[in-house]
């Protein structure tokens, strides 16, 4: 990794510059700063991709097992999702808010240990485990963007309710579109998380022989899944709409943060 460490360091620097330019655009509606921020973010994506590919080439496994690798991959997923959605829908504020989170996550990886979550043992490491972790992180990426759309919905709803007209209000998508986007991202994230839990359960059953059900991380992951299932049900049943749905969705995302926080209480998920 030493040979490619400079790529990681440059990525952090350029990512910080991109977020700062997006912040300037957020405050002053500066289109020049917005364009510069976008191209810096494109360079960040390229460097992250090069670093990730080099890690895959250097290691005998898909690099999502250590805390460093997990945080880096999560940040890379957020960059990808923000660029793809912005390409199709042109929502600059989504890119800004998403990459504030992405930069924060990538910054955390600087302090993360690179000891694997589990021992590199052929009886433990399997493609099933890699797919489980990858699908879980992809689902968290979708839920992260869904939470951002919820926050944007609540921001716009607050401004409209209090008749606070500003340039920021004109840059936000309509309330209907924001609600639609958050729901569709939940529709993507939920089956990804469900598949991740199914594959993780199969792996744990084969390796841990059924003793994994009492693990707090497993129960917390199930609670996250149930939380999003409940939000989806209420939206599809037309019971929750608008700000009530957005608040519930932010609450569901808080379960993901709690799920991450309980990792060290787990007997087999904890970072060693």
Digit-by-digit pLDDT tens for the chain (272 residues) are 557 788 999 999 999 999 999 999 998 888 899 999 999 999 999 999 999 999 998 888 888 888 899 999 999 999 999 999 888 888 889 999 999 999 999 999 988 766 555 544 444 457 788 899 999 999 999 999 999 999 999 999 998 888 877 777 888 899 999 999 999 999 999 999 999 999 988 888 877 766 667 778 888 899 999 999 999 999 998 888 889 999 999 999 999 999 888 765 666 566 54
pTM of the predicted model, to two decimals? Answer: 0.90
pLDDT at 1: 53
Q: Which of 138, 147, 154 is nearest to 189 (CA)?
A: 138
Specify the residue for token string 């500003």: 166
What residues have CB less than 8 Å from 181, skipping those under 6 apart? 89, 145, 146, 149, 173
Domain chopping of the chain, boundaries = 1-113, 117-272
pLDDT at 272: 42
Q: Which of 127, 107, 145 is nearest to 9 (CA)?
A: 107
Q: Which of 111, 86, 112, 110 is nearest to 98 (CA)?
A: 86
Instruction: Judge whether 112 and 136 are in contact, CB under 8 Å.
Output: no
* C-alpha to C-alpha distance for 122 and 104, rounded to whole angstroms: 34
* C-alpha to C-alpha distance for 134 and 137, rounded to whole angstroms: 5
pLDDT at 226: 96
HEC letters along the chain: CHHHHHHHHHHHHHHHHHHHHHHHHHHHCCHHHHHHHHHHHHHHHHHHHHHHHHHHHHCCCCCCCEHHHHHHHHHHHHHHHHHHHHHHHCCHHHHHHHHHHHHHHHHHHCCCCCCECCCCCCCCCCHHHHHHHHHHHHHHHHHHHHHHHHHHHHHHHHHHHCCCCCHHHHHCCCHHHHHHHHHHHHHHHHHHHHHHHHHHHHHHHHHHCCHHHHCHHHHHHHHHHHHHHHHHHHHHCCCCCHHHHHHHHHHHHHHHHHHHHHHHHCCCCCCC
pLDDT at 7: 92
Which CATH class name applies to 117-272? mainly alpha
């Amino acid at each position: 990794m030493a040979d490619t460490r400079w790529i990681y360091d440059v990525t952090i620097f350029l990512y910080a510059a991109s977020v700062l330019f997006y912040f300037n655009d957020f405050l002053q509606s500066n289109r020049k700063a917005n364009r510069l921020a976008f191209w810096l973010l494109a360079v960040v994506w390229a460097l992250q991709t090069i670093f990730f590919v080099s890690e895959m080439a250097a290691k005998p496994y898909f690099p999502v097992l250590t805390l460093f690798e997990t945080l880096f991959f999560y940040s890379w997923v957020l960059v990808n999702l923000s660029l793809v959605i912005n390409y199709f829908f042109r929502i600059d504020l989504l890119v800004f808010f998403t990459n504030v989170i992405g930069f924060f996550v990538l910054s955390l990886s600087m302090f993360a240990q690179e000891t694997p979550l589990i021992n590199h043992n052929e009886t433990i490491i399997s493609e099933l485990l890699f797919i489980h972790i990858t699908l879980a992180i992809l689902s968290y990426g979708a839920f992260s963007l869904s939470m951002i759309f919820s926050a944007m919905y609540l921001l716009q709803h607050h401004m409209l309710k209090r008749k606070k007209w500003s340039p920021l209000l004109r840059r936000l998508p309509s309330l209907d579109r924001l609600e639609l986007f958050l729901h569709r991202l939940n529709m993507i994230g939920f089956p990804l998380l469900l598949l991740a839990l199914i594959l993780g359960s199969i792996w744990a059953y084969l390796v841990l022989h059924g003793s994994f059900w009492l693990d707090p991380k497993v129960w917390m992951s199930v609670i996250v899944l149930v939380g999003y299932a409940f939000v989806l049900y209420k939206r599809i049943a037309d019971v929750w709409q608008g700000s009530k749905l957005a608040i519930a969705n932010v609450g569901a995302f808080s379960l993901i943060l709690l799920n991450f926080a309980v990792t060290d209480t787990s007997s087999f998920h904890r970072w060693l």
